[in-house]
Amino acid sequence: MDKLLLNSYLSIYIFSEVITLILSLMVLFITVKIVLKWDFNSNSKEQYALEKSLYLGSILALFLFVAKLILLVYLVYALDAISIYIPGAMCAAGVVSANGYGMVLLGVKFLTIFMLLLYLFLEKYDVESKYYPILRAREVVLIVAIVLSLIEVYLDYSYFYNIDINAPVSCCSTLYGTLEGQNPLPFNLNINTLLIVFALLFIALISALLLELEILTLIVAPLFIYISYYSVVYFFGTYIYQLPTHKCPFCMMQKEYNYIGYLVWGTLFFGVSLGAVWAIVKRWLKKDYREVKRYAIILLTLFVAINCSYILIYYIKNGVLL
């Protein structure tokens, strides 16, 4: 444990997380005060101070969004770097699986970033409108994001504190391979059926965005990100590695593969997230941010194109498929 914390990668990460924790507490204090005491019709000094605090809170929320995004990318990179200290780990997959907190921590980080992204667009809508019509609602969303951020800190501590550098862990081949004939795919699907579901969900999501079907977008988006994860790990990823037995969501983020995993997972996450944010704002606030929808479609299409390109490149080079 001590050896890990002395590692420069983790030291930088932990220091940065402490800074974001301090900022998160500041934002939480500001936001709760605004929710409880905001009165737009008041001309008091307290209301004037709240209006200044509101602006400060928005700036800090934007900074937190950027910081959380950078720290997520850096954490994955750092976990890969410290895999040499964990017996059995060949990449970040083994380090993440060192205890039960790893995957939960990554999940909460993604959820925190999504909530901050949603807040930023709600704040944009609120500022563009007169009299801040959704001020309290948007601040509640920010409070949820900050609470998730605080949970992150707990999970950070629990995760790193409970890593035993003397206990062997499983490598990605074991974690994501087929063990004793068990099917690792969801709903007991086979690869062909998984790819059909992947294609159908992609078409459904793009169609829902183009036809401006907000509810359908919100239903399909989480399903697509779920199925896409398995499709990349168990099919598309094998073409990135050019090895049918190599199945891992983390190795593709290594230098050997030109860090393509960051682009693969980034386009998926932000494509789905922007689509969901567009649908929420359009459905409940009747505001159509067409540029957000357009970026969502572009990112989702890029995600599919990147994955398919590796299949095409492999076939051109070898004349066969894996």
Q: Is residue 166 part of a domain?
A: no
Q: Do 125 and 22 share a structural domain?
A: yes
Q: With 60 as the cut, is the pLDDT of residue 124 above it?
A: yes
Write down which residue in 161, 184, 219 finishes a domain.
161
Q: Which domain holds residue 282?
A: 173-318
- Cβ contact 310:246 at 8 Å: no
Residue 15 identity:
F
> What average pLDDT does range 44-52 have in this prediction?
88
Number of domains in the chain: 2
Lowest mean pLDDT among 66-75, 124-133, 191-200, 237-246: 124-133
Lowest mean pLDDT among 37-41, 106-110, 124-128, 195-199: 37-41
Higher pLDDT, 178 or 155: 155
Q: Do 33 and 119 share a structural domain?
A: yes
Q: Do 202 and 127 share a structural domain?
A: no
The pLDDT tens digits of the residues spanning 190-212 come to 999 999 999 999 999 999 999 99
At 274, the pLDDT band (50, 70, 90 cuts) reads very high
Helix axes 102-128, 45-81, angle to 10 degrees: 150
What percentage of the chain carries pLDDT values higher than 70? 97
Q: Is residue 289 part of a domain?
A: yes
> What average pLDDT does range 36-49 have in this prediction?
87
- Cβ contact 184:231 at 8 Å: no
Q: Do 254 and 182 share a structural domain?
A: yes
Q: Do 209 and 156 share a structural domain?
A: no
Q: With 60 as the cut, is the pLDDT of residue 56 above it?
A: yes
Q: Do 258 and 116 share a structural domain?
A: no
Looking at residue 39, its pLDDT comes to 86
Q: Do 289 and 214 share a structural domain?
A: yes
Looking at residue 176, its pLDDT comes to 86
Q: With 80 as the cut, is the pLDDT of residue 7 above it?
A: no
At 170, the pLDDT band (50, 70, 90 cuts) reads confident
Q: Is residue 168 part of a domain?
A: no
> What average pLDDT does range 274-293 have in this prediction?
96
Q: Do 252 and 126 share a structural domain?
A: no
What percentage of the chain carries pLDDT values higher than 90? 77
Lowest mean pLDDT among 3-17, 208-222, 227-241, 249-263: 3-17
Write down which residue in 120, 141, 161 finishes a domain.
161
Looking at residue 265, its pLDDT comes to 98
Q: Do 247 and 298 share a structural domain?
A: yes
Burial of 180 (0-12, 13-18, 19+ CB in 10 A): exposed
> What average pLDDT does range 136-159 have in this prediction?
95
Q: Do 189 and 242 share a structural domain?
A: yes
Q: With 80 as the cut, is the pLDDT of residue 4 above it?
A: no
Q: Do 238 and 177 share a structural domain?
A: yes
Looking at residue 5, its pLDDT comes to 67
Task: Copy the structure tokens of residue 253.
Answer: 């983020």
> What average pLDDT does range 274-287 have in this prediction?
96
> What average pLDDT does range 220-226 have in this prediction?
98
Residue 81 identity:
A
- Cβ contact 276:217 at 8 Å: yes
- Cβ contact 269:249 at 8 Å: no
Mean pLDDT of all residues belonging to the chain: 93
At 171, the pLDDT band (50, 70, 90 cuts) reads confident
Q: With 60 as the cut, is the pLDDT of residue 2 above it?
A: no
Looking at residue 8, its pLDDT comes to 83
Lowest mean pLDDT among 47-56, 171-180, 231-240: 171-180
Q: Is residue 306 part of a domain?
A: yes
Q: Do 54 and 147 share a structural domain?
A: yes
Higher pLDDT, 202 or 87: 202
Higher pLDDT, 254 or 130: 254
Residue spans of alpha helices (H) in 90-245: 92-96, 102-128, 135-161, 172-176, 191-210, 214-231, 237-241
